[in-house]
Each structure stands twice: as C-alpha cells, then as structure tokens.
A = this chain, B = another copy of it.
Amino acid sequence: MAQRNIRLTLSYDGTDFAGWQVQPNRRTVQGVVEHAILKTSGESLRILAAGRTDSGVHALGQVANFRTESDIPADRWKLALRAHLPDEVVVVESEEVDYEFHATFSAKTKRYRYVIYNHVVEFPFLKNYAWRIPQELDVAAMHAAAQELVGKHDFRSFESHWPNKATSIRTVNQVSVNRVAEWPAWSPVATAGERVDGESTPTAPFIVLEIEADGFLYNMVRTITGTLLNVGRGNWTGKDVRRILEAMNRKEAGGTAPAHGLYLVCVHYG
C-alpha cells in the first residue's frame, strides 16, 4: 500500500514533559504522540518535528509529520489521536502533504514567544507559563535594542554549548517586545489585586517577546531574553547587544531565561 505523509499541528503544555524528543524512561511529547499513533493505526513509527522543544517549553503550533500505510483519512487523524492523547497535548490540525514534506527540513521560518510576568506580586497560576520579574522593566528600550538582532548574523554569542551545528549563522526576520495589557480574563486577579495594599500594580503586567527566524540555535531565544532583560533593567543598550553579537562569545551575553516562559508559536513552510 502506498504510504501517505500526514502533517500534524500540535499545541502542548510542556510542563510535565521531558521535552519533545523521545528518551528512555522519560515522558516526552514525541513519545505520547507516537504512542497515540500506535493505538490508532497499529503502526510503530517515528515522527519528525519542526523544533525539538526542551523540557518545560510549550508549543502552540508545533508541526510534525509521519508516513503511514493506514487508510484513515488525513483530517480524521486529528480526532482519532485526541482519543489517545493526554489533555495537555492537542492536535489542532491534521492534513495530508506531499510525500517529500519534512517537518524539520522543509521549515522556512519559525516563530517563538517568550512571556515575562512583570509584577511585584507572585501569581501562582503562572508559575509554569511565564517568567516573573518583579522590577518594572523598560520595554521600549528592550524593543529598540532587540532590533540590532534583525538580519543575518552569526549568533554564536546566543548559543549554549557552541558548536552544535555546522553553522551558527541565522537570519532573524522580525523581533518585537511589547507590554500586553490584559490579565487572563478567566482569573479573578483584579479581585485579588484589590487586597494588595501599598504595592504598585502595573496596568500591563505581561511582556511578550516575539521572534521569527529561519532557524534557532540551542537556547537562542532564552539567551536573547536574558540579554534583553539587562536592557530592560537599564544596564545595557542596543550598543551592548551589537557588541555581544560581534563578540561571538557566549560569555558576553546575558543569562539563559528559564524554559517555562518559552512558546513555539508557529512554523512557516512557504
């Protein structure tokens, strides 16, 4: 029987997973999806993903693919897999694609988001979903400095454990840092906030970094976030970001922001 190539768009909460990639004796996203495929079609196969997210990293539009001999219609895979997946992994879409399509190598660009919760008061429901920075940050300065990253550069200053890849040159198409105004609407934070006497309540407690590039080095978004944090605190400016880029030395950049604020937003295949 001819094999068909199925592309999945996946959203998942990475909190309780040891990342995307299958590892012995660890619960991974790849592992639970492959298990769901086994339960659905009886096929024991490997799936490929656009980005191998680390432990604790989330995804809203991860893309994966696999080749199947099953005659399950492409759009039925979404519902079929749902029945065998845990609640925190959702198949948003399933579709048939060209046999040559490869989730990793066909990707033209990927977009990541990093969420900072910029508030003096802890919010317990965000502990796995945003990085809390209590001091108010200068978001306009962070956005301006981040523009130094746009374009084709050697990003080895922003890579952990360099060299991992043949080249550390990547092209950043777009990067932005913005305050986001609303609290999660379903949470009664406003009510809880009323009881916080004498502590200032910024009107826009979330800071969202968005970055799109043709590829990312290991920990690149988290290191960029840690570097821009120093800008937001007033210690560095765009000149420092440029200096760090040109140094091609990881020690020059800021710290690595924690995994739980990072989201793989989407992947574009052109």
Mask for A47-63, Cβ within 8 A of B = 1, else 0?
A: 00000000000101100
Closest Cβ–Cβ distance, residue A32 to chain B (whole Å): 12
Binding site for B on A (CB under 8 A): 9, 11-13, 58, 60-61, 82, 87-90, 92-93, 111, 113, 115, 117, 121-127, 129-130, 180-189, 191-192, 195-197, 206, 208, 263, 265-266
The answer, among B13, B90, B185, for a CB contact under 8 Å with A181, is B185
Instruction: Report the bound CA distance from A111 to B181 in whole Å.
Output: 26
User: Which chain B positions have C-beta within 8 A of A9?
Assistant: 195
| Chain copies in the assembled complex | 2
Contact B123 A11 (CB under 8 A): yes
Instruction: Report the bound CA distance from A121 to B180 in whole Å.
Output: 24
- Residue on B with the closest CB to A61? B192
User: Which chain B positions have C-beta within 8 A of A88?
Assistant: 124-125, 127
Instruction: Report the bound CA distance from A106 to B206 in whole Å.
Output: 37
- Most chain B CB atoms below 10 A, which of A129, A192, A206, A266: A192
Contact B125 A266 (CB under 8 A): no
Contact B13 A124 (CB under 8 A): yes
The answer, among B115, B186, B197, B263, for a CB contact under 8 Å with A115, is B186
The answer, among B117, B189, B206, for a CB contact under 8 Å with A60, is B189
- Residue on B with the closest CB to A10? B124
Closest Cβ–Cβ distance, residue A82 to chain B (whole Å): 7
User: Which chain B positions have C-beta within 8 A of A191?
Assistant: 60-61, 111, 265-266
Contact B188 A185 (CB under 8 A): no
- Residue on B with the closest CB to A87? B127
Instruction: Report the bound CA distance from A206 to B182 in whole Å.
Output: 15
Task: List 18 A-B pairs, Cβ < 8 Å.
Answer: A11-B122, A11-B124, A13-B127, A60-B191, A60-B192, A87-B124, A87-B127, A89-B124, A90-B121, A90-B124, A117-B186, A125-B129, A129-B187, A180-B186, A182-B184, A184-B186, A191-B266, A192-B265
